[in-house]
Amino acid sequence: MGDYMARRTRVVRMSVEQPLWHALTAYRILTMVYAVLLFVYARDTYEHPWVAVGYLAVLAVWTLVTLPSVANAVSCTRRFLAADLTIAVVGILITGLADAQAQHVDGPTLPSIWAAGPVLAFAIKGGWRWACVASSFVAVADLVERGDPGRDTLHNVLLVWVASIAIGYVVEVARASERTLARALEIEATTRERERLARDIHDSVLQVLAMVQRRGTALGGEAEELGRMAGEQEVALRTLVSSGLVPTARASQDAAYEATVRSLDLDCPLGRGKRAGVEPCDLRSLLAPFTNSRVTFAEPGAPVLLAPAAAMELTAAVSAALDNVRKHAGADANAWILVEDWPDEVIVTVRDDGPGIPEGRLAQAEGEGRLGVALSIRGRLRELGGKAEVISVPGQGTEVELRVPRPKALRGKAAER
């Protein structure tokens, strides 16, 4: 059970920049091959081809050897970035040694478009400011190599400069968005755990304190003083729960869940064996113990299968609804539990013949810290992706309808029945 709850509250941290590193790796390989092919195609035009061969050999080896360095932000160190940029700049500057005509013709440099790779690495690693510095070095090297740059050279320099800065800025925005999203998910997970703990407190501690208060007042004497103190603690604890200041206690919550299932000893594999929490539960076996002279249980003829955790949460919500019947409708009130098994959802209806709930009473109770319906019922159903509807007419009883969606893996089994 603990593993299931941990999976539900785990905040998934995804890296928005990792795909960029993969793309940069592919870009470096492809542009290295492109630079080699350009030389092979125009090798006869070079006055000193051995210069180009030597540089391209170094470029190819460097590109292949340093592939792990551009796998992620951690491995892409500042030392590597400086060396990578140096190789690009040197390749641009020695183009004139290999081909003297390159200074007078707007042809490609020795590294060609591979030179944009180090600039992109700077952009992904450090953002737009680093990209601005790296692209400026490449731009200066291009202008120096050309001597009298033409329109194409100026166009290429400006394109690399603007594109790298834009990519760097996008990376910074993506990182900020990722941090904001991660923080929001952490807050949501913390809030959900607090709500679950608040439900447990409401279903156990608060009810015990209320019972001690009532019994102490009825007995009188020293017991009355004990009841008064229990009442004060109940009010304080309700205030604490309703204000959202309850700390997280995951271990105790998981233990409580497992203890509940084992104590019921029902046909549910939760907490048992290697496939604990995997095999579906028959909801009927969990709801059947609620049947007594005042509670009637109507069930389908076939098993109502749900995931163990979902079945337990739904059972706890039904228990909370029946507790409200006993508290507010009186000990003589009758209740009915109806289970409807549909292919895509399970509907459990709890109805009583009590006096009903006055209009606005639920909102008032929630404001007073009495969170039976808000947390023990609606909160549980919201955690399961379902919903709870409370329909009450004064003098005509109350009906609580609990709807829980069935996972796709179980829909086929329900349809077969």
What residues are paired with 306 via a beta bridge?
281
Can you tell me whether residue 351 is helix, strand or coil?
strand
Residue pLDDT, tens place only, 152-172: 767 777 888 888 888 888 888
Can you tell me whether residue 402 is helix, strand or coil?
strand
Judge whether 154 and 146 are in contact, CB under 8 Å. no
295-298 and 335-341 strand pairing:
parallel
CA–CA distance, 388 with 322 (Å, rounded to integer): 14
Q: For the beta carbon of residue 376, count every other beta carbon within 10 angstroms.
A: 23
- Confidence check: pLDDT of 40 > 80: yes
User: Model's pTM, two decimal places?
Assistant: 0.47
Lowest mean pLDDT: which of 66-75, 175-184, 341-350, 400-409?
Answer: 175-184
What residues are paired with 341 via a beta bridge?
346
Residue pLDDT, tens place only, 183-204: 777 777 766 766 666 666 555 6
Residue pLDDT, tens place only, 93-142: 898 888 766 554 556 888 989 999 999 999 999 888 998 999 999 988 88
pLDDT of residue 199: 60
275 pLDDT band, cuts 50/70/90, is very low
Residue pLDDT, tens place only, 289-322: 888 888 999 988 888 999 888 898 899 889 888 8
Buried b (16+ CB within 10 A) or exposed e, 297-311: bebeeebbbbbbbbb
CA–CA distance, 300 with 284 (Å, rounded to integer): 8
CA–CA distance, 252 with 246 (Å, rounded to integer): 14
- Confidence check: pLDDT of 255 > 80: no
CA–CA distance, 144 with 157 (Å, rounded to integer): 12
Residue pLDDT, tens place only, 134-157: 999 998 888 888 766 667 767 777
211 pLDDT band, cuts 50/70/90, is confident
The phi and psi torsions of 404 (rounded to 5 degrees) equal -125, 120
- Confidence check: pLDDT of 377 > 90: no
For 85-124, the three-class secondary structure string (H helix, E strand, C coil) is HHHHHHHHHCHHHHCHHHHCCCCCCCCHHHHHHHHHHHHH
CA–CA distance, 315 with 309 (Å, rounded to integer): 10
CA–CA distance, 324 with 352 (Å, rounded to integer): 10
The phi and psi torsions of 268 (rounded to 5 degrees) equal -145, 125
The phi and psi torsions of 394 (rounded to 5 degrees) equal -50, 125
What is the DSSP code (8-state) at residue 334?
-
CA dihedral 80, 83, 85, 87 (to 10 degrees): -140
What is the DSSP code (8-state) at residue 377?
I
